[in-house]
C-alpha cells in the first residue's frame, strides 16, 4: 500500500475537477443576497486599494473577514470585475480541498483510497455548488480540512512536528476566511480526540509556543489593524 499519490493520476484528477468547475463559470449572474454583496465589497476594496477595512456602498461592513475580498481583488486585477473572477477564489480553494483530501487519504489508507477520496470530494454536490459561488464557505472548508488533516497525521504518528505548525498556519488562514470558526472547528475535533483517547501528553505539543506563534503571526495582524481602524 503506497502512502503517496501518483503524480500523473493526481494531475488528471485536478485537471478534471478544474475543467468541471471552470466550465461557464461566469455564465450565471451573481445569485441571492450573498454573492452580489460579497462581490461588491471586494470590488470596493479593490478599487480603493484598501486591505484592512471592508466597505459596502462606502460604509464599513464588518460582517465577514477579508480573505475572500483579498483573493477576489487579485482575480479582478487579472480577469476584470466579472462574475467569473469573483468566483475564482472558491474554485482555487476547491482544487486545494480535493488535493488535500487525496493526499491525506493516501497517507492514511494508500494511493488508491486517496485518489478515490479526492474524486468524491471533487464531484459531491455541495462542494461543487460552493466551489462555483462568490462566498467564503469553500475557503473555510478547505483551510479547516487542511488544519484538521495535518493535526490528524501528527497525532497518528504519520507526520513530524512541523505538521502542527503547518496546521496552525492553516487555522490562522481559516480565521481570515470566516472568523473564529476557523480555529474553533479544529479545536473541537482535536480536543474530542484527545479526550476520547486520554492522550493528555498531546496537549503540550499542540499548545507549544511554535504553533501558537504561527497562528498569531498569520491570523492576528488583520484583527489588530481593523480594531485600530474601527475601535
Q: What is the pLDDT of residue 41?
A: 97
CA 197 to chain centroid, in Å, comes to 28
E strand residue ranges, the chain: 55-56, 59-60
The predicted model scores a pTM of 0.94
Average pLDDT over residues 219-223: 97
- The answer on pLDDT for 98 being more than 90 is yes
Cα–Cα distance list, 40 to 43, 48, 68, 78, 83 (Å)? 5, 12, 12, 17, 11
Query: In 3D, which of 81, 127, 78, 76 has the Cα closest to residue 100?
Result: 127
- Kindly tell me if the per-residue pLDDT of 115 is higher than 60: yes
Q: Which of 100, 87, 118, 97 is nearest to 12 (CA)?
A: 118
Q: Strand, coil or helix: what is 145?
A: helix
* % of residues, the chain, pLDDT over 70: 99
Find all residues with CB under 8 Å of 209, minimum gap 6, and list them. Answer: none
Give 177's pLDDT tier (boundaries 50, 70, 90).
Answer: very high
pLDDT band at residue 2 under the 50/70/90 scheme:
low
* Rounded distance between C-alpha atoms, residue 24 and residue 224, angstroms: 39
Instruction: Show Cβ contacts of residue 119 under 8 Å, excluding neighbours closer than 6 positions.
Output: 13
Q: How much is the mean pLDDT over the chain? A: 95
Q: Is the pLDDT of residue 1 over 70?
A: no
> For cell 454583496, what's the residue?
37
Mean pLDDT of 105-120: 95
32 conformational bin, left if phi > 0, alpha if psi -120 to 50, beta if neither = left
**Cβ neighbours, 10 Å, residue 187:** 15
Longest dimension (CA), the chain: 56
**11-67 pLDDT per residue, tens:** 999 999 999 999 999 989 999 999 999 999 999 999 999 999 999 999 999 999 999
C-alpha cell at 140: 473555510
For 130, phi then psi, to 5°, come to -75, -25
59, β-bridge pairs: 56
What per-residue confidence (pLDDT) applies to 3? 76
CB-based contact 183:174 (threshold 8 Å): yes
Amino acid at each position: 500500500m503506497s502512502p503517496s499519490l501518483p503524480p500523473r493520476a493526481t494531475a488528471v484528477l485536478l485537471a478534471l475537477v478544474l475543467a468541471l468547475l471552470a466550465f461557464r463559470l461566469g455564465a450565471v449572474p451573481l445569485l441571492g443576497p450573498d454573492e452580489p454583496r460579497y462581490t461588491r465589497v471586494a470590488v470596493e476594496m479593490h478599487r480603493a486599494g484598501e486591505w484592512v477595512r471592508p466597505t459596502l456602498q462606502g460604509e464599513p461592513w464588518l460582517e465577514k473577514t477579508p480573505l475572500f475580498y483579498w483573493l477576489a481583488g487579485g482575480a479582478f486585477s487579472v480577469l476584470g470585475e466579472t462574475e467569473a473572477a469573483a468566483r475564482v477564489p472558491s474554485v482555487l480553494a476547491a482544487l486545494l480541498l480535493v488535493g488535500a483530501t487525496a493526499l491525506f487519504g493516501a497517507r492514511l489508507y494508500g494511493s488508491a483510497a486517496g485518489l478515490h477520496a479526492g474524486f468524491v470530494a471533487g464531484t459531491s454536490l455541495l462542494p461543487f455548488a460552493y466551489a462555483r459561488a462568490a462566498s467564503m464557505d469553500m475557503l473555510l472548508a478547505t483551510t479547516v480540512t487542511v488544519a484538521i488533516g495535518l493535526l490528524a497525521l501528527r497525532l497518528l504518528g504519520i507526520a513530524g512536528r512541523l505538521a502542527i505548525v503547518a496546521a496552525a498556519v492553516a487555522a490562522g488562514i481559516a480565521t481570515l476566511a470566516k472568523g473564529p470558526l476557523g480555529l474553533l472547528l479544529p479545536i473541537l475535533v482535536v480536543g474530542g480526540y484527545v479526550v476520547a483517547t486520554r492522550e493528555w501528553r498531546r496537549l503540550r505539543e499542540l499548545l507549544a509556543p511554535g504553533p501558537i506563534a504561527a497562528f498569531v503571526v498569520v491570523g492576528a495582524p488583520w484583527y489588530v489593524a481593523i480594531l485600530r481602524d474601527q475601535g
